[in-house]
Amino acid sequence: MKIEDYVRTIPDYPKPGIMFRDVTTLFSDPRGFRMAVDALVQLHVNTDIDMVAGIEARGFILGGAVAHQLGKGFLPVRKKGKLPHETISEEYDLEYGTDVVEIHKDGIKKGARVLVIDDLIATGGTAEAAVKLINRAGGIVVGSTFVIELPDLGGRTRLERHNVNVQSLCTFAGD
């Protein structure tokens, strides 16, 4: 089986016309989860990085596993108000409003080379906010990797405008 075979598609969620790509079925299958984590690790085993940043919430699962396998630190990129210490934040646009992500102000050492990991890239708003935060904190984003890419929604282009290399394990067109 391929990674995309483990991803459940839920039509019309969260609204009509959306084909939601659910990775919980990938995570719950031992073979599928191992396949995804191993593939992410293999993409970066020879990449010069100091830490992995995982975007809330599914990026924590993947990013934590990848950081562990690579023997690197982990940086959580969280929704506003979830981190207990002094933070820096980045607001980004949603389809109907805005949201905010944060990292600890002291979460990255100046010049640290950071890999951004999440389950899915669609429009790229959250990932772009994470990249901006890491850069503002003094880190250097060396790349971003996602299990799923929805290429028709433009997230890759959005990150590439920031000179961030984008990789994905599988794509679903037309979403």
- The phi and psi torsions of 80 (rounded to 5 degrees) equal -55, 135
Q: How far apart are CA 142 and CA 66, in angstroms?
A: 15
- 95 in active site: yes
- 58 in active site: yes
**Inter-residue contact 170 to 149 (CB < 8 Å):** yes
Determine the straight-line distance between the first and last CA of the chain, rounded to whole angstroms: 22
Q: Which of 78, 90, 95, 156 is catalytic?
A: 95
Adjacent-strand bridge partners of 88: 103
- The phi and psi torsions of 9 (rounded to 5 degrees) equal -105, 125
Q: Which of 21, 58, 78, 156 is catalytic?
A: 58
Give the catalytic positions in this structure: 58, 95
